[in-house]
């Protein structure tokens, strides 16, 4: 936590401060369960250290974009009927302001014929640097959650609602998610997953086209609209890092997922 004086100094230097992802915690907080009831849930790793990122990291993450490249990219029509086309189209996209500010696109990673597809919200700082979804602290927890039901990261396909990092870890805007929707739909069509795991409020609300709170969505099984693919909602790992007691519910979700995949 920066002191008031440090904050004033940074402000004076024109450096934006990194903020915690309070939106997820705030909107999901209404559903915090009392305490873990299952020993396996209790074993899911607990990590309560702050999730802020050093200011230096923020200031080095943004690189200028080449205006000539942008012009060429903007004119290329997306080709979404095969994998290379999808990835190239994502990498070439400049349809919204997120593309202007990210270090690189984060299309997704994993088995392109995976039975389980995991869809998060959008890349964070670490993902933006690495070009791979869920590689920061949230990603490490996600990996351990999967391992708890015997699934390796390489066996699933992991992606996000938006493929570029929203600045200051803000939620993706409706129009940004809409711009990315065709890419996500094309990825789902290629993968044909048996089950989708939607992690967190932003992912669940976009996928299910609803504004219902995640605490409600988590209680039911869903289907991806316009398809017969079963969709399970669970808490975002970032939320679980802040609210370890919610791991009891996440563990129930994981067990259900395991059952669906058998």
Q: Looking at 86, 93, 121, 179, which residue binds ligand URA (CB under 6 A)?
A: 121
Q: Rule CB under 6 A: is residue 172 a binding residue for ligand URA?
A: no
Q: How far is the CB of 134 from ligand URA (least distance, A)?
A: 4
Q: Rule CB under 6 A: is residue 51 a binding residue for ligand URA?
A: no
Contact status, residue 36 vs residue 42, Cβ threshold 8 Å:
yes
Query: How many chain residues are in contact with ligand URA, going by CB under 6 A?
Result: 11
Q: Where are the alpha helices (DSSP H) in 150-221?
A: 174-191, 201-208, 214-217
Contacting residues for 201 by C-beta, under 8 A, at least 6 apart: 24, 27, 28, 213, 214, 236
Q: Looking at 86, 116, 127, 214, which residue binds ligand URA (CB under 6 A)?
A: 127
Q: 10 Å Cβ neighbour count for 167? A: 15
Q: Rule CB under 6 A: is residue 166 a binding residue for ligand URA?
A: no
Residue 231: half-sphere exposure toward Cβ, Cα within 13 Å:
24
**Pick 129 or 249: Cβ nearer ligand URA:** 129
Q: Rule CB under 6 A: is residue 124 a binding residue for ligand URA?
A: yes
Q: How far is the CB of 169 from ligand URA (least distance, A)?
A: 9
Q: Rule CB under 6 A: is residue 138 a binding residue for ligand URA?
A: yes
Q: Rule CB under 6 A: is residue 123 a binding residue for ligand URA?
A: yes
Task: For residue 253, give the nearest of 212, 188, 187, 196 by alpha carbon.
Answer: 196
Per DSSP, the residues of 102-169 read -SS----EE-TT-SEEEEES---HHHHHHTSSS-SHHHHHHHHHHHHTT--GGGSEEEESSSSPPGGG
230 φ, ψ to 5°? Answer: -65, 140
Binding mask 74-93 for ligand URA (x = CB under 6 A): --------------------
Q: Rule CB under 6 A: is residue 133 a binding residue for ligand URA?
A: yes
**Pick 202 or 254: Cβ nearer ligand URA:** 202
Binding part of the chain for ligand URA, among 2-10, 46-54, 114-122, 204-212 by CB under 6 A, reads 114-122
Q: How far is the CB of 152 from ligand URA (least distance, A)?
A: 18
**Pick 11 or 152: Cβ nearer ligand URA:** 152
Sheet holding 195-199, edge to edge: 109-110, 157-160, 116-120, 195-199, 230-234, 221-223
Cα 194–chain centre separation: 20
**Pick 20 or 70: Cβ nearer ligand URA:** 20
Q: Rule CB under 6 A: is residue 160 a binding residue for ligand URA?
A: yes
Name the site residues for ligand URA (rule: CB under 6 A): 120-124, 127, 133-134, 138-139, 160
């Amino acid at each position: 936590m920066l002191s008031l004086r440090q904050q004033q100094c940074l402000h004076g230097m024109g450096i934006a401060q990194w903020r915690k992802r309070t939106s997820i915690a705030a909107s999901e907080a209404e559903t915090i369960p009392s305490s873990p009831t299952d020993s396996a849930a209790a074993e899911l790793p607990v990590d309560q250290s702050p999730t802020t990122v050093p200011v230096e990291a923020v200031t080095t993450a943004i690189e200028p974009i080449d205006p000539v490249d942008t012009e060429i990219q903007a004119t290329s029509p997306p080709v979404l009927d095969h994998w290379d086309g999808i990835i190239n189209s994502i990498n070439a996209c400049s349809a919204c302001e997120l593309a202007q500010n990210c270090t690189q696109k984060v299309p997704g990673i994993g088995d392109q014929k995976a039975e389980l597809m995991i869809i998060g919200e959008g890349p964070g700082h670490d993902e933006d640097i690495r070009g791979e979804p869920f590689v920061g602290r949230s990603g490490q927890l996600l990996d351990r959650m999967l391992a708890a039901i015997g699934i390796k990261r390489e066996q699933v396909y992991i992606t996000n609602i938006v493929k570029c990092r929203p600045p200051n870890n803000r939620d993706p805007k409706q129009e940004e998610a809409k711009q990315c929707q065709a890419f996500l739909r094309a990825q789902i069509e290629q993968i044909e997953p048996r089950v989708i795991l939607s992690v967190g409020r932003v992912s669940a609300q976009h996928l299910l086209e609803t504004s219902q709170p995640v605490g409600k969505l988590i209680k039911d099984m869903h289907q991806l609209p316009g398809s017969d693919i079963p969709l399970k909602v669970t808490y975002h790992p970032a939320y679980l890092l802040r609210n370890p007691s919610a791991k009891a519910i996440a563990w129930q979700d994981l067990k259900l997922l395991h059952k669906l995949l058998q």
